[in-house]
Each structure stands twice: as C-alpha cells, then as structure tokens.
Amino acid sequence: DSDEDNEDNLFGDDDWEISFDEVDDHISEFQEDEFVREAFAKGMDLREYARNIEKELSGIEREHEIDYINQAKNFIELHNQIQSCDQTLATMENMLSVFQMDLGNISTEIQTLQDKSFSMNIKLKNRTAVEKKLSSVLEGTVVSPSMIKVITEDEVDEAWLAYLMELNKKMTYVKNGQTNSIKAIRDIGPEMEKLRLKATEKIRDFLLNKIRSLRIPNTNVQILQQSVLLKYKALYQFVIERYSDVAFEIMHNYINTMRWYFFNHFERYNRTLQKLQNPIGDKFTLIGYDENTRKGGLFGSGKIALQDKTNMFALGDRIDTLRNQDAGVILVHVAENKNQKYPYEALFRSFNLTFIDNASSEYLFIVEFFAKDAKPNVDWAKDIFAEIFDTTIKMGLNSTKQYVETTYDAIGILLCIRLNTQFALELQRRRVPALEGYTNQTNMLLWPRFQAIMDTQIESVKKATNKLVVKDVHPHHITRRYGEFSASLLILNEDYNDSILSNNLLRLRNEVEQFLEKTAETFDEPKNSLIFLINNYDLIITILGETGGKAIEAEVNHFKELLNSKISGFVEKELQPYFSSLISFNKQVDQGKDITTIDSDVFEQISSDFAATWRQSITSINTSVIQHFTNFKNGTSILHAVLGQLIIYYTRFCNILEERMNDGSVRIKHQPVGVQSVM
C-alpha cells in the first residue's frame, strides 16, 4: 500500500508535468551521491535501498520524539526562565528609558550653564580690561599728597629720588596719553608740570653744589664721583629728559670745573717733577766726542776716555723704570725731603701714569654719568672728555716737547717710547679710547727726536774718524761708549724689533768699525794695528756679553768673527820675530814644495835654533801678550792661540824631519827638542 501511495504521489497528480531533462538531471545527481554510488557498487536494488533508508529515518524520528518527551520538563523550565528574563529586560528597558530622559534633561541644563558661563566669562574679561585700563589711568595720573610734599619741600636724598622716579613714570604716562579723551589725564597735566619745574630746580641746585665742592682743596674727586654723583645719576637722566637746558648747564659746569681741577693739579705736579730731574748728557757727550777738547786738548787716550762719568751710554738700572710696572709714582714731597734726583724717563713715567689713571677713571665716570637715554655713548663721552682734558693734554705734550728738543739722551728717549707703548696697551686693556690721540702725539714727539740723536751720534763718529790722533793700542773711549750704547739699545729693542732702531744700530756699527779700521791703519807697526783692533773688539764683546739677552747674541757673534780674524793675524805677527825660519819652512810646505829637495842644513839650522831659543822666545811672547792685552781672559786666550800655532808648526817640522831621517836622506848633529817638552 505504501508503494502504491508513493506511486500515487509521484504520478497520480494530473497537474504534474514531467520534464525528462529534469529527470536526467536528478538521475545524474543521484548517481553522484556517495551512498547511491555505494549502493550501485554493491548491486543493490534502489527501491529496497530507499525502503531501508526510510526505516532508518523512522527509527531516528521515534528516538528524537522520545528524547523530546524526556526533555519536556527542561523545555518548560527554560521557557519560564525566558519569560522571567523578558520581564526583567522590560523593567530595565523602562529604567533606561527614564534614565535617557533624565540625561536629555541634564544635557539641556549643561548647555544652558555653558551659555551662562560663556556670557559671564565675556563680562569678566570686559570688566578686567576696564579695570586694567582704569588702574593704569589711576596709577599714571594720581599724584599723592606725600609725593607733592616730598618733592617740593624735602631735601634731595634717596627717598626723594624714589619719589622722583615715580613722578617720572607718571609724567611719561601722561605724555603718552595726551591724545586720549580721558579728562583725568588732561586735568593732571598742569599739576605735573609744576612738579617737573620744582624737581628740576632742586636737582640743579643739588648737582651744582656737588660740582662746586670739587673745587675745595684736598677733595677726593673719585670718591665724590662714586659715592654721590653716580649714586644720584638718575637725577641727571631726569633733567636730560625733562629739561635739557638745565642738563647742559650742569654738564658744562662740570666740564669747566674738572678742566680747572685737572689742569691745575697736573701743571703743579709736572712743574715740581721737573725740579727733580737729573740731567744726563748734553751736546758734548756724544760717542765720538772727546771730553778733553773742552780743555783745548786733542782726542785723549783710551785710558782717560774709559773714565766716562756721564753714564749717558750705559743703561744700568734705568731699565727698572720700564720693567717695574707695579712700582708707584714719584711722591714729590718725599723726594724733595730726601733730595732725590731722577732721570727724565722716571719723571715721564710718573706724570703719565698719574695722568692716565686719573683720565681713565674720569672717562669711565663720564660714560656712565652723562650717558644719553641711559645707554653709554662712546662718541658723546669722548667729546666731553676732550673738553675737560684738552688743556691738560696740551700742557703734557708741551712739557715732553721742551725736553726732547734739547736732550741728547737717546736711551732716555727710547725708554720714554717704550713706556708710552705700555701706556697705550694699558689704555686698550681698560677700554679707554679717548687717550689714543695723546699717546700717538707723544710718539710723534719722541721718535723723530730719537732719530735726530742717532744721526748726531753717528755723525760724531764720522768726525772722530777724520781727526785721528791715536797712538795707544788700548781700547778707545769711542769703543767703550759704543759698546755700552749699543747694548742699551739692543736690550730696549728685545721685545719690539723696531726697524728704525735696528737700521740706526747697523749704521752706527758700520761707522764704529770704519773708525777702528782707519785708526788701526795709523800705527807704524802692523802688529800694533792688530793689537788695537783686538783690544777694541774684545771690549765690545765683553760689554755686550755682560749685558746678555737674545737680542745681544747676534751682535756678539758678529764681533767675535772680527776678533778671531784679527787674532789669527796677530798670532802670525807675534811668532814671526822668534821663529821666522820655522814659519818660513811651514809656508814652503803649504805652498807645495817637495820636501825631498829641502837640504839637510835647513833641518839642522831650524832644529838648533829652536832648541836654543824656544824657552826664551815663549817667555818674551808671554810678556808681550800681557803687556798689550789688558783683558786677562782675552790675553790668556790669545797666548794659547800663539802657543797652539807654534805647536802646529813645530809638530809638522818634526814629522817631516823624522820622515827624512827614516829614509836616510837627512842627518843632523843636534837632536830636536821633543814636542811634548814644548807643550
């Protein structure tokens, strides 16, 4: 029956239309099914297979129904739980809806508060701005009774200055606000004008009184400047800004006072310093000038000239003026009580060091006190400085000019030049440009005079060369003066290397060398000429050597070369009278003569003469050297050179003699003196 029902279901429906294409498609799908392929593979009947499947499905269905019935209680509990959850969720939904409504209300309130806050903030800013402007107006326009009382009635002091600064701020505010329509600003203007005039009057009186006090004797200007004027410099700044005519009156009063103060003090100090001067040298104390000519005599001997008491050419302790930079200045009253005298460079240093210290302090004060707009103005300060110190500077330059025009002390002038360089460097270190012109003008006075003195010194040596009347082999007075003078100048040029000085020294050296050479030519005996040159060169070297220093070294080496060349010539001249045959023999050998051609009699004669006279000859040479060379050290050196050359000559002779005797070509009767015996 079931099969028939199935067939009825499949084919009983008259409306069912069969599509064979679809049947083919279904068949293809069945064939592809895994279970169908398996049934085909086993050769099973599909209908039987379908019925089996249906039975299995029915079994499974019944199992599920039983399982469902068994789980019915659980389903009921689950259903109840779901309903309970629905009720809970409904309650929560209701609560959330209420909460959402509350949030909406709060949001609206917050927005309202924000709007109110924004509005209040705008009002606050507006009120703050108004308050600030109003406060500024009040602060800038309200003048307290206490301020009026202090400024108009009290004396100028620190409290008065504080009120003045406050008034100045108010005046600045009122001046800047003149274009405003604020009535308070317009009304306060005339009152502040009265205070300005009263304050200016009191400032003028106060500062002019302080400036007048600078004229009181024994007033310490720097203390007054630092403790009073600079302390109240804001007063001057006030009148510069508020009443320029009064400011210029104060400034010119100060300029006139300080011009008088500095000129009088330095003029008096300079005048008293000049009384302490110890003159050094004059137009007669030149290198080439002989002191004896003043007495009507001719050029004196070296022995007399060596006693040069002027000390114009030796530097000595005068260098201390330059080196002791920390030394104090000359105190006139102390020097007068002790009857002390000083060379000009010491006076020059004291005057200029005192002047520079005072001028530097004054310049720095001017820069700070008279600054415009509360800012230092170098050009403005230099103009004020020039007005104050113009007369003092002219006085100082005139004093220097008076000295340099008459002096012949080149060392003193050069010391002043070096001191002036130190002053210029110190002014640069202190950053005081206002005195640069002064140091430059001082240099322009000193250098030309130094050059003129050097020309005069060189010319004096030239004139001495043309008046040669010298017969003494001892050092000439010109030599000693030149040695001391050149050593002094070289020391003063050690750290400067001035080409002007170097060129003048070279010119002077050339003239002195020419003088010595021409003087040496006047001696009748050539040996005396050499002795004269050796003594003079040695003296120069000795003086330079005692001085020391790097700058001296090159000069010493130059004269050592000259000295050594003259010593070599003297050695030959000194040996010639005593060992003429020995010297002649050596010269023949030097000229290349064949020693085998020298006759035995020559060897015999030289050997016997030397043996007979060498002791006495050396004694005579020693006496001669001691007599002619006053410098023991130099004389000893020359004696060693003479004996050394003698040993060289005699050793060569003995060697040649021994060689000839060994080959049997020479026979002598007297055995020659051994070289060791002579040594």
Q: Domain check: are 545 and 617 in the same one?
A: no
Segment 609-653, tens digit of pLDDT: 888 888 888 888 888 888 888 788 888 888 888 889 888 888 888
Segment 125-153, tens digit of pLDDT: 877 676 565 555 555 556 778 888 888 88
Q: What average pLDDT score do residues 85-105 get?
A: 87
Share of the chain above pLDDT 90, in %: 35
93: pLDDT strictly greater than 80: yes
Total domains present in the chain: 3
Q: Domain check: are 303 and 363 in the same one?
A: yes
Query: Quick count: other Cβ atoms within 10 Å of Cβ 634?
Result: 20
User: Comparing 170-179, 470-479, 661-670, which segment has the lowest mean pLDDT?
Assistant: 170-179
13: pLDDT strictly greater than 70: no
By C-alpha distance, which of 673, 666, 677, 669 is closest to 582? 673
Q: Domain check: are 326 and 450 in the same one?
A: yes
User: Comparing 173-177, 205-209, 525-529, 570-574, which segment has the lowest mean pLDDT?
Assistant: 173-177
- Does any domain span residue 9? no
Q: Could you please report the per-residue DSSP string of 189-217?
A: HHHHHHHHHHHHHHHHHHHHHHHHGGGST
Q: What average pLDDT score do residues 148-168 get?
A: 87
pLDDT value at residue 308: 40
Q: Domain check: are 409 and 537 in the same one?
A: yes
pLDDT value at residue 187: 66
Segment 376-424, tens digit of pLDDT: 678 888 999 999 999 999 999 999 999 999 999 999 999 999 999 999 9
- Does any domain span residue 480? yes
Q: What CA–CA distance (Å, rounded) separates 618 from 610?
A: 11
For residue 191, give its domain range.
Answer: 145-262
Segment 286-301, tens digit of pLDDT: 888 876 655 444 334 4
Query: Quick count: other Cβ atoms within 10 Å of Cβ 175?
Result: 13
Q: Which two tokens stand for residue 386?
A: 């020039």
Segment 14-48, tens digit of pLDDT: 444 556 666 666 666 666 677 667 776 777 777 77
pLDDT value at residue 657: 79
- Does any domain span residue 114? no
Q: Domain check: are 580 and 561 in the same one?
A: no
Alpha helix positions (H), 405-435: 410-430
pLDDT value at residue 304: 36
Sign of torsion over alpha carbons 387, 389, 395, 401: negative
283: pLDDT strictly greater than 60: yes
- Does any domain span residue 28? no
Q: Domain check: are 151 and 205 in the same one?
A: yes
Q: Domain check: are 254 and 300 in the same one?
A: no
Q: Domain check: are 242 and 305 in the same one?
A: no
6: pLDDT strictly greater than 50: no
pLDDT value at residue 556: 92
- Does any domain span residue 75? no
- Does any domain span residue 77? no
Q: Domain check: are 221 and 293 in the same one?
A: no
Q: Which of 566, 591, 614 is the last residue of a domain?
A: 566
User: 3-state SS string over 52-115?
Assistant: HHHHHHHHHHHHHHHHHHHCHHHHHHHHHHHHHHHHHHHHHHHHHHHHHHHHHHHHHHHHHHHH
More confident residue, 467 or 513: 513
Q: Domain check: are 546 and 581 in the same one?
A: no
User: Comparing 128-142, 249-263, 575-589, which segment has the lowest mean pLDDT?
Assistant: 128-142
Q: Which of 218, 235, 262 is the last residue of a domain?
A: 262
- Does any domain span residue 289? yes
State phi, psi for 77 to the nearest 5 degrees. Answer: -65, -40
Q: Domain check: are 462 and 322 in the same one?
A: yes
pLDDT value at residue 615: 85
498: pLDDT strictly greater than 80: yes
- Does any domain span residue 26? no
Q: Domain check: are 295 and 251 in the same one?
A: no
